[in-house]
Chain A
Amino acid sequence: MIHAPKPERHIYYRDDKVSADKLHAMQYVVVLMLALLATGMWKLQILSVGDYRLLAEANRIRKDPVRAPRGRIFDREGRIIVDNYPSITCYLLRGQGRDIESDIPMIARALDLPVDQIQATLHRYEISHKYESIPLKQDITQDEQDFIEAHRNELPELETRDEQRRLYPQDGFAAHLIGYVGEVSEEDLKSSKYDFYDPGDVVGKSGVEETYDSLLRGTDGSRDVVVDSHGREVGQLGQQLAIPGKDLRLTIDLDIQRAAEQAMEGKTGALVAMDPHTGEILAMVSRPNFDPNQFSGHLTKDYWSKIVNDPNHPMMNKTIQAQDAPGSTFKIIMSLAGLQEGIAQDMRVMCNGGATFYGHFFACDQHHGMVDIHNAIPWSCDTFYYMMAERLGIDTIARYANSVGIGQKTGIDLPEEAAGTMPSTAWKLKTMHDKWYAGETISVGIGQGAVTVTPLQIARALGGIASGGVLKRPHVVFPDELPEEMQSAIKDTFPGSGDRVVPITPENWETITDGMAQTTMPGGFDTGAAAHMEGIDFAGKTGTAQVISHSAGATSLGSGASRANAWFVGMAPRRNPDIVVAVLWEHGGWGAGSAPVVAQVVNAYITKQRRIEGNLHAVETPKPTPPAAPNPPGTPTAMLSPTSKPGEAKAASVSRP
């Protein structure tokens, strides 16, 4: 001992020692505490290792979608209608522990989007995986891209990616037929049809884009990107390549479609052109139209309200959705019924501007004098068909109408087709719980009353009758170019009257087709003579359908929104036509007014065929009576020249039927 403690400290020096038991107890405390920590580690690292490995992966790996370019759409000759173009989309990355809510105002400023829209987008994606990024804005401008680049540090959650986007024809060309694409909506996702879709997927919303979405869309790929906690990409684990969508060839002929668009310019209504041999749709126009480019980008509020507030329904594909009284075009179906039932052949009716049935006077627009089936069609004599309707009865009429597809969907491969209405005693009992009154049959005889059709239905019905009773399912995509399982799927998805044969005796067939051919002949009948084209065997039927009153007897056309709809269904040649065109000109007035519209399209078709075939298309029809007036320049005779261009034909001055 070297260092003696200071004396005063002696008071502390006792034999007292810290209790050995207590020190011992401390050892147990240490063991207990460390054991406690070990159990915590055991729980995490041994028992829950799987859960935490998954969490760690999700933390670390972000799935970046690689959008598949959508298939392009071509016309029947392989000319492009819908293409894609490169565009830049801004995405929002989540799950980086960043408070996105507080960044929303700045994001809104960066992308020039309303705050509530961004919040709505975020809300929509709440159900999706955190590692999926949210498309905030497509087609961002260079300025917006620069802003995002310059604010990388403040807004690390924004990312831009190159993508392919839809480029549709300008001015709504074939818009209803093609449709448009858009982000799948919240309501859509709830339906089973969209089971395999995720929020943010781009889907076809109407037309061909909707029907053939599964083909066109391809399969999106993805990249598994390794990120740090700031979402910065530090590597790539793997990728799944996007499989581009399949290109689609339509039955549409761009030349015919162009002629049809021109012919319908400035009108409201619909035009459909079809090849009755096959059911291939050659052209489809609905007016007014819309710009699908506007819909697949960000739809501006102004454009949207303009579209939805338009009383003429621009979004409606009127060729398959407008259900209107067919007017006199229905008389062809009446003729079929009358002739096949054997009562029309010998019918002679004295037309004195109408007739009285069941105490009501039903008017005809002319005093046709003695009328038989041969001149009843081209004259479109109402009196004759009132009589025939009375003799046939509603159920016989309905039977024939149904046989040519009236009152049921055609089964065209486009969404939301309307079925129209073909009244009958059974129909009235079912829908109105009332019996059919014989008086109601009279107006059905001239295509008024409860009967309604779509332009496609009437085109197919009349084209089918002219083809000797062979009706085809209309379609816009060649079925044999589809994968096998899709061919039957399309038929199941779009049920309709489909392919069918209606028996017509050859004499009756000749009678009806000759009657329709006479319609466009200048001279005696001339309800559709304005559409006469020299050297083209052009047949058809006018229709002037009342839009207000369902009572028959068109003595006035009405005006404005109550002005009559002008129908014309035309075809060439008269028997076994290669093309049938139906035009519904809403509030167009006399059906004769629509005839030149059809003539323009048929002309474009014939001219094209002749050019292709080196003018081999022989004119079979008997020589028509010479025209009363010389033809205006650039019309019918010019048709014969293979150098004339489609759509050049101008109809002669309109004469009243």
Chain B
Amino acid sequence: MRRFSSFRDFDWMLFTLVMLMSLISVLEIKSATLHTKFRGFDHKQIEFLLVGIVLMFLISRIDYHRLVDIAPWAYGVGLFSLVAVKLVGTKVLGGRRWINLGGGVHFQPSEWVKLILILAIARYFWGLIGRDLSWLDIGKAFAMIGLPMGLVLIQPDLGTALTYFPVLLVGLFLGGIRFRQVMVLLLGFSLLIGGAWLSGKRLKPYQMARLTSFIDPGSDPRGAGYQILQSKIAVGSGGLWGKGTNKGTQTQGDFLPIPYTDFIFAAFCEEHGFVGGMGILLLYFLILMRLIENAQQASDVPGAFIIMGVVAVMLFQIVVNIGMVVGMMPVTGIPLPLMSYGGSSILFSFLALGIVMNIRMRRFVN
């Protein structure tokens, strides 16, 4: 009976790192919204964090095997909510992504579908571990991810849809896909993407514009290219040490688009410079390394798979978001985990962390 000893096995190290990150996030949101109508978002972010922390502790009390057990049911509910959001969702910024729960609370189902997919993939590859993957196994995994991805894609929300993909990739990788199969898949994908690119009909005009403006930022100075340019100006002008809290001219002057969500890293880099930005990267490095360490210590296959799924999603979002902010990636609207303002994103992070905690607490089980 390890009921009371479990909090000793709780990953306080990881929790501290995450809390540090959250503190920085709140301070930067405060600075970035100081002179805008979004002033006070830092307080709302604190509320989200408190809810997130409570949920993290609650879910860390639940045996993750139970979660793995109910994964197929959750998967079904997840798909249903994605269909529901398409039918009754609230339209925001051209995309139908939110379900209004009443009382001013909106929920973005695509975020928690991410968590369900991690569980589902873990369960799926758990069953396949130890033997070579057949093309059928791979096909099933693709279908498992592809179905919700397609539903999110038609909301339309390309960014979130893309975050499902690393879950599949890490599953295939850890699940034992062979090099030859990877090559075949890569070839197939490049043909598919090439075809889609040529037809150009698969993407919404603004998505197309985002991609083209990434390739040629001068083509649309007021659209996505304008956002990237403003972001680069904010980051670049920050220099080594930054301009100081509340002193980022691009952030405070409203030149930087949405500096409290997608471009929060640009706002931070403008005000705290290269040194501050490297600090954030270091924190992410420590968090991800700690997560992988937990995966290594996990007592069984699904535990490791779940944690690596979380790592894959987080790493993917970090790379795509910061890559966008520094002009290496197109604008995709993917938030920066633990930094960007937003309840759904925080809930995902902390629920995921709660499960990780549970896996860690049970590492000596069996």
Q: Contact at A97–B326, with CB atoms within 8 Å? A: no
List A contacts of B2 (CB < 8 A): 2
Q: Contact at A53–B289, with CB atoms within 8 Å? A: no
A40 to B323, CA, bound (A): 8
A268 to B255, CA, bound (A): 62
Give the residue name and chain of the B residue nearest to A48 (CB).
Answer: B236
* A113 beta carbon closer than 8 Å to chain B: no
Q: Contact at A34–B284, with CB atoms within 8 Å? A: yes
A393 to B202, CA, bound (A): 94
* A29 beta carbon closer than 8 Å to chain B: yes
Q: Contact at A34–B365, with CB atoms within 8 Å? A: no
A37 to B274, CA, bound (A): 12
List A contacts of B129 (CB < 8 A): 14, 16, 18
Give the residue name and chain of the B residue nearest to A11 (CB).
Answer: B127
Q: Contact at A51–B236, with CB atoms within 8 Å? A: yes
Q: Contact at A38–B315, with CB atoms within 8 Å? A: no
* A316 beta carbon closer than 8 Å to chain B: no
A59 to B256, CA, bound (A): 11
Q: Contact at A229–B126, with CB atoms within 8 Å? A: no
List A contacts of B326 (CB < 8 A): 37, 40-41, 43-44
Q: Contact at A56–B235, with CB atoms within 8 Å? A: no
Interface of B is mostly: helix
Q: Contact at A18–B240, with CB atoms within 8 Å? A: no
Q: Contact at A26–B292, with CB atoms within 8 Å? A: yes
A588 to B44, CA, bound (A): 90
* B139 beta carbon closer than 8 Å to chain A: no
Q: Contact at A16–B301, with CB atoms within 8 Å? A: yes
- Of the candidates B65, B230, B240, the one whose C-beta lies within 8 Å of that of A46 is B240
Q: Contact at B277–A41, with CB atoms within 8 Å? A: yes
List B contacts of A20 (CB < 8 A): 296
Encode A30-56 as 1/0 by CB contact (under 8 A) with B. Answer: 110110111011111110110111011
Most chain B CB neighbours (cut-off 10 Å) among A2, A19, A34: A34
* B197 beta carbon closer than 8 Å to chain A: no
- Of the candidates A1, A22, A33, A226, the one whose C-beta lies within 8 Å of that of B315 is A33
* B212 beta carbon closer than 8 Å to chain A: no
A33 to B166, CA, bound (A): 14
Q: How far is the CB of A17 from chain B (nearest CB, A)?
A: 7
Q: Contact at B319–A37, with CB atoms within 8 Å? A: yes
* A563 beta carbon closer than 8 Å to chain B: no
A49 to B273, CA, bound (A): 10
A234 to B239, CA, bound (A): 24
* A230 beta carbon closer than 8 Å to chain B: yes
Q: Contact at B249–A56, with CB atoms within 8 Å? A: yes
- Of the candidates B65, B300, B315, B328, the one whose C-beta lies within 8 Å of that of A30 is B315
A59-B233 contact, Cβ under 8 Å, with A2-B2, A23-B295, A38-B281:
yes
* B304 beta carbon closer than 8 Å to chain A: yes
List B contacts of A122 (CB < 8 A): none
Encode A46-88 as 1/0 by CB contact (under 8 A) with B. Answer: 1011011101100110000000000000000000000000000
Q: Contact at A18–B239, with CB atoms within 8 Å? A: no
* A623 beta carbon closer than 8 Å to chain B: no
Give the residue name and chain of the B residue nearest to A19 (CB).
Answer: B174
List A contacts of B233 (CB < 8 A): 52, 55-56, 59
Give the residue name and chain of the B residue nearest to A98 (CB).
Answer: B222
Give the residue name and chain of the B residue nearest to A20 (CB).
Answer: B296
Q: Contact at B130–A16, with CB atoms within 8 Å? A: yes
A1 to B366, CA, bound (A): 6
List B contacts of A44 (CB < 8 A): 232, 235-236, 326-327
- Of the candidates B127, B226, B269, B284, the one whose C-beta lies within 8 Å of that of A41 is B269
B: number of interface residues (CB 8 Å) = 60
A53 to B250, CA, bound (A): 10
Give the residue name and chain of the A residue nearest to B278 (CB).
Answer: A38
Compute the total of residue contacts between A and B using a CB distance below 8 Å.
Answer: 153
Q: Contact at A49–B288, with CB atoms within 8 Å? A: no
* A12 beta carbon closer than 8 Å to chain B: yes
List B contacts of A98 (CB < 8 A): 222
Q: How far is the CB of B248 from chain A (nearest CB, A)?
A: 9
Q: Contact at A52–B285, with CB atoms within 8 Å? A: no
Q: Contact at A56–B237, with CB atoms within 8 Å? A: yes
Give the residue name and chain of the B residue nearest to A2 (CB).
Answer: B1
Give the residue name and chain of the A residue nearest to B238 (CB).
Answer: A45
Q: Contact at A45–B277, with CB atoms within 8 Å? A: yes
Q: Contact at B365–A1, with CB atoms within 8 Å? A: yes
Q: Contact at A52–B249, with CB atoms within 8 Å? A: no
Q: Contact at B289–A60, with CB atoms within 8 Å? A: no
* B311 beta carbon closer than 8 Å to chain A: yes
Near A by CB (< 8 A), chain B positions 288-345 give 288-289, 292, 295-296, 298, 300-301, 304-305, 308, 311, 315, 318-319, 322-323, 326-328
Encode A543-584 as 1/0 by CB contact (under 8 A) with B. Answer: 000000000000000000000000000000000000000000
Q: How far is the CB of B331 from chain A (nearest CB, A)?
A: 15
* B173 beta carbon closer than 8 Å to chain A: yes
* A99 beta carbon closer than 8 Å to chain B: yes
* A27 beta carbon closer than 8 Å to chain B: yes
* A228 beta carbon closer than 8 Å to chain B: yes
Q: Contact at B127–A60, with CB atoms within 8 Å? A: no
List A contacts of B318 (CB < 8 A): 33-34, 37
List A contacts of B250 (CB < 8 A): 56, 59-60
A43 to B323, CA, bound (A): 12
Q: Contact at A45–B255, with CB atoms within 8 Å? A: no
- Of the candidates A37, A51, A228, the one whose C-beta lies within 8 Å of that of B253 is A228
Q: Contact at B240–A49, with CB atoms within 8 Å? A: yes
Most chain A CB neighbours (cut-off 10 Å) among B65, B176, B235: B235
* B234 beta carbon closer than 8 Å to chain A: yes
* A360 beta carbon closer than 8 Å to chain B: no
Encode B222-247 as 1/0 by CB contact (under 8 A) with A. Answer: 10001000101111111110000000
List B contacts of A48 (CB < 8 A): 236
Q: How far is the CB of B67 from chain A (nearest CB, A)?
A: 14
A229 to B288, CA, bound (A): 37
A44 to B305, CA, bound (A): 36
Q: Contact at B253–A52, with CB atoms within 8 Å? A: no
Q: Contact at A23–B323, with CB atoms within 8 Å? A: no
List B contacts of A626 (CB < 8 A): none
Q: How far is the CB of A13 from chain B (nearest CB, A)?
A: 8
A30 to B273, CA, bound (A): 23
Q: How far is the CB of A50 from chain B (nearest CB, A)?
A: 9
A-B contact pairs, 22 of them (CB 8 A): A2-B1, A12-B301, A13-B300, A16-B129, A17-B301, A18-B129, A18-B295, A19-B174, A26-B170, A27-B289, A30-B311, A33-B319, A36-B328, A37-B281, A38-B278, A38-B281, A49-B239, A53-B239, A55-B236, A56-B234, A56-B236, A60-B250
| Chain B residues proximal to chain A, CB less than 8 Å | 1-2, 63, 65, 126-127, 129-130, 170, 173-174, 176, 221-222, 226, 230, 232-240, 249-250, 253-255, 269, 273-274, 277-278, 281, 284-285, 288-289, 292, 295-296, 298, 300-301, 304-305, 308, 311, 315, 318-319, 322-323, 326-328, 365-366
Q: Which 7 A-B pairs have the closest CB atoms?
A: A52-B236, A40-B326, A56-B237, A45-B274, A44-B236, A18-B304, A16-B130
